[in-house]
């Protein structure tokens, strides 16, 4: 920019003093305005890159978890540990959960790809972005210098004052394009999905009677945790789950805690014979985060 402004000073001998001052001031204002807008766009691009990259990381974690469960399910089926009906139902459920995640992951990677101008590895390099903007700034400065030179020749021949050129709309179009690619998800939505995943783990642990998986859903300081373990083992020795489902009625999420009202519907079959029994229970559950994962802190039946 200093070189560009210095070259403008050289036009003094080619233009009348008043005309040059008006032209110089006009382009100086434009250069300062464009520099400010370039810095703003650079910050916006970096914010988009950070947001989309974080969403990609979370989606990949969720997809890996679901894929591991799908592989585990296939192994259990091969060993004959679960019936084909249960296997088919859970496999279809996992695939239904994976579809929207894979679609979102594809869209996020497409956004990153659009932002990655000549970058490698599918991510935006801040240094490359800055270099790109600097090149654009230099190109604008050279373009303005050419316009001033042409105006000098015009003033010399016609001794008239030309209107300054209109400001390019390319930067504003770029800004609108970038804003159109901003992801619409919010942190709250992602926390909701994690909480739903916790209750899905509880459901699966009950169906498969995996006590360690079941207890991993409870907080370290959950009251009477050992009694809870004995109670669930005793219930599993008494009946089998033919079916188990849940429906989240209410959910309030803060940074480290959450309040959830959940309704459980079960179809139980007594181990020693008898008619299957359908059950329904509504619980108010308090959750808290431990090492970044949601855990059950307290449970209170809703009467």
pLDDT tens across 209-268, in order?
A: 999 999 999 999 999 999 999 999 999 999 999 999 999 999 999 989 999 999 999 999
- pLDDT higher at 115 or 18: 115
pLDDT at residue 94 is higher than 70 = yes
pLDDT score, position 289: 93
What gap in Å lies between CA 178 and CA 163, rounded to an integer? 32
pLDDT score, position 155: 47
* Nearest residue to 57 via CA among 98, 99, 95, 104: 104
pLDDT score, position 174: 42
Q: Which two tokens mark 139?
A: 């190109």
Do the beta carbons of residue 173 and residue 182 sit within 8 Å?
A: no
pLDDT score, position 123: 41
Walk across the sheet containing 257-270 and list its strands: 239-253, 257-270, 277-290, 293-301
**Direct distance between the N- and C-terminal alpha carbons of the chain, in angstroms, rounded to an integer:** 73
pLDDT score, position 184: 44
52 contacts: CB under 8 Å, gap ≥ 6: 108, 111, 112, 115, 183
pLDDT score, position 168: 44
pLDDT score, position 179: 44
Considering the domain delimited by 187-301, tell me its CATH architecture.
Roll (3.10)
Q: Which two tokens mark 21?
A: 């001052």
Q: Which residues does residue 259 pair with via DSSP β-bridges, in sequence order? A: 252, 286
Q: What is the pLDDT of residues 74-89, one digit of tens each?
A: 877 777 777 888 888 8
Q: What is the mean pLDDT of residues 38-56?
A: 84
Query: How many degrees, rounded to 5, is the angle at CA 188 between CA 211 and CA 53?
Result: 95
pLDDT score, position 214: 95
Helix (H, G, I), strand (E, B) or coil at 119: coil
* Nearest residue to 1 via CA among 137, 194, 176, 172: 137
pLDDT score, position 243: 93
**Residue ranges covered by each domain of the chain:** 2-180, 187-301
pLDDT confidence bin for 294, thresholds 50/70/90: very high
Q: Residue 2: is it exposed, middle or buried by C-beta count within 10 angstroms (0-12/13-18/19+)?
A: exposed
């Amino acid at each position: 920019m200093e070189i560009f402004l210095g070259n403008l000073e050289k036009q003094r001998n080619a233009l009348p003093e008043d005309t040059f001052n008006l032209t110089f001031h006009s382009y100086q204002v434009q250069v300062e305005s464009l520099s400010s807008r370039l810095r703003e766009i650079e910050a916006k691009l970096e914010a988009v890159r950070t947001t989309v990259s974080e969403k990609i990381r979370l989606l990949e974690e969720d997809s890996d978890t679901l894929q591991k469960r799908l592989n585990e399910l296939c192994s259990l089926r091969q060993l004959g540990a679960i019936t084909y009906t249960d296997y088919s139902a859970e496999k279809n459920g996992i695939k239904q959960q994976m579809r929207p995640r894979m679609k979102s992951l594809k869209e996020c990677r497409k956004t990153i790809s659009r932002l990655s101008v000549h970058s490698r590895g599918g991510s935006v390099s801040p240094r490359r972005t800055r270099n790109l903007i600097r090149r654009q700034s230099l190109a604008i400065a050279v373009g303005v210098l050419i316009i001033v030179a042409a105006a000098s020749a015009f003033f010399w021949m016609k001794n008239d004052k030309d209107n300054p050129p209109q400001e390019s709309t390319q930067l504003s179009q770029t800004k609108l394009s970038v804003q159109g690619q901003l992801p619409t998800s919010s942190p709250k939505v992602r926390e909701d999905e994690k909480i739903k995943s916790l209750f899905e783990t509880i459901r699966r642990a009950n169906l498969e009677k995996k006590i360690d998986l079941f207890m991993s859903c409870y907080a370290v300081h959950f009251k009477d945790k050992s009694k809870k373990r004995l109670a669930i083992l005793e219930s599993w020795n008494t009946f089998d789950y033919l079916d188990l489902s849940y429906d989240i009625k209410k959910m309030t999420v803060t940074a480290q805690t959450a309040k959830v009202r959940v309704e459980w519907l079960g179809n139980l079959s007594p181990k020693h014979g008898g008619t299957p029994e359908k059950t329904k229970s509504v619980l108010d559950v308090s959750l808290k985060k431990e090492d970044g994962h949601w855990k059950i802190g307290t449970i209170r039946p809703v009467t």
